[in-house]
Structure 1
Amino acid sequence: MSVTLKLATSLDGRIATAAGQSKWITGERSRAAVHQLRAEHDAVLVGAETALADDPELTVRLPGYAGRQPARVVLDSRQRLPTTAKLVQTAREIPTYLVATEAPQARLTDAGVRVLQAPALGEDRPELKAVLEALAREGLRRLFVEGGGQVAASFLRCGLVDAVEWFRAPIVIGGEGRPAIGALAVAGLADAPHFRRTEVRELGDDLWERYERI
């Protein structure tokens, strides 16, 4: 399983203001590039908080695109995703997985959501290596992780991120904004996840930085 982490942030690494405003930090060309990256992966993953706050579709929406849509994956230990969510409403059209730490709820499975169980790790969050193994058994090999900050931090803490696609907009939000990456508990620089920059592109006013794990 290969894991790519996508970040779309301000210059100071924020994904939203303190009030939660995030549309749109990056520009149209960056958003189009994200949709192209989705198309190149088997599945797109978000955490429950992102799914509940944004009600995303996590689909590829490019002019003239008629290719395969990636599966959608939500890390939702307590199965809080409502049946009114776009992801649930379209689960019979596009494969949609919810990773929980409890037995599947019929209201979700009856709607077509595929509920996978994974063991809990700390704070009732699914253990990520087990999550990747479960997704691999479903035939998903290339995972695109889109957020939020705690999910990004969890994948980085576990050493599971193989590549980073970072879209950076020329604005500064400040320390009260919401960080793209949550706490990593890094005691020293040698313990921090290390990556090598492979490419930098200009997308309008934004920068697209690409990294791979060292």
Structure 2
Amino acid sequence: MPVTLKLATSLDGRIATASGESRWITGGAAREAVHRLRAEHDAVVVGVETALADDPELTVRLVGYAGLQPARVVLDSRQRLTPDCKLVRTARQTPTYLVATTSPDPALVAAGVRVLQVPAVGEDRPELKAVLQALAAEGLVRLFVEGGGRVAASFLRCGLVDALEWFRAPTVIGGEGRPGVGALALAGLADAPKFRRTEVRELGEDLWERYERT
């Protein structure tokens, strides 16, 4: 199952300020490229913290686009999404999945959300290999992981990221900002995930760097 991780960060790898302000770090051309990448995948994956903080739609919004919308997948162990958020309100128009470690919430199911229950690991987080298996059973095999930092770190730590799409803005936020990739708990440099850069493009003032796992 191919997994692509998308990061949109400052030069120093931050996705938000300490207060959580994140819109917009990258410019319009970079955001358009992200929408085109979404259209190439079966599902867009985010963590519940990103869903709660940004209330995103996670759809492809391009002028003239008439293709299929990718499914939206939220990793939400305790089903914290509420019926009034955009993802739940539009679940009957665009397939929306919630991956939990608890029994499906009847309110979310009634709204049209497909709740997939998987085993938990660590701090009650969904076990990612089980997540991929559950999504594959739903026909979702090309995944586009958009964040946040803990989710990015989890996929990298498990060795599940096949490609990186990294958008960098010419901005420095500093150490108090929120990292694009959370803690990896590395014992040494040799244990760090390694990638090969395949392409670099300029998108307005931003850079788009593309990587493949080595």
Q: Same fold (TM over 0.5)?
A: yes
Matched, 1:79 2:62: no
Matched, 1:23 2:19: no
C-alpha displacement of 1:58: 0.1
Tell me how far apart the structure 1 counterparts of residues 76 and 188 of structure 2 sit (CA, whole Å).
31
Matched, 1:5 2:5: yes
Q: How does 1:178-193 map to 2 (within 5 A)?
A: 178-193=178-193
The secondary structure found in structure 1 opposite 2:52 is: helix
Q: Which residue of 2 aligns with 1:51?
A: 51
**Partner amino acid for 2:179?**
P
Q: Which residue of 2 aligns with 1:207?
A: 207
Q: How does 1:1-214 map to 2 (within 5 A)?
A: 1-214=1-214
Q: TM-score, normalised by structure 1?
A: 0.99
Displaced runs of 4 or more, over 4 A:
none
The Cα offsets for residues 45-68 of structure 1, whole Å up to 9 and x where unpaired, read as 000000011100000000111110
C-alpha displacement of 1:175: 0.4
C-alpha displacement of 1:141: 1.0
The secondary structure found in structure 2 opposite 1:20 is: coil
The secondary structure found in structure 1 opposite 2:184 is: coil
C-alpha displacement of 1:188: 1.1
Gaps of 5+ in 1: none
Tell me how far apart the structure 1 counterparts of residues 9 and 96 of structure 2 sit (CA, whole Å).
26
C-alpha displacement of 1:189: 1.1
The Cα offsets for residues 99-154 of structure 1, whole Å up to 9 and x where unpaired, read as 00011010000000000011000100000000000000000110000000000000
> How many residues are treated as equivalent by the alignment?
214
Tell me how far apart the structure 2 counterparts of residues 25 and 93 of structure 1 sit (CA, whole Å).
29
Tell me how far apart the structure 2 counterparts of residues 91 and 38 of structure 1 sit (CA, whole Å).
17
Tell me how far apart the structure 1 counterparts of residues 115 and 100 of structure 2 sit (CA, whole Å).
7
C-alpha displacement of 1:78: 0.3
**Partner amino acid for 1:3?**
V
**Partner amino acid for 1:72?**
R
The Cα offsets for residues 39-92 of structure 1, whole Å up to 9 and x where unpaired, read as 000000000000011100000000111110000000000001000010000000
**Partner amino acid for 1:107?**
A
Tell me how far apart the structure 1 counterparts of residues 145 and 200 of structure 2 sit (CA, whole Å).
20
Q: TM-score, normalised by structure 2?
A: 0.99
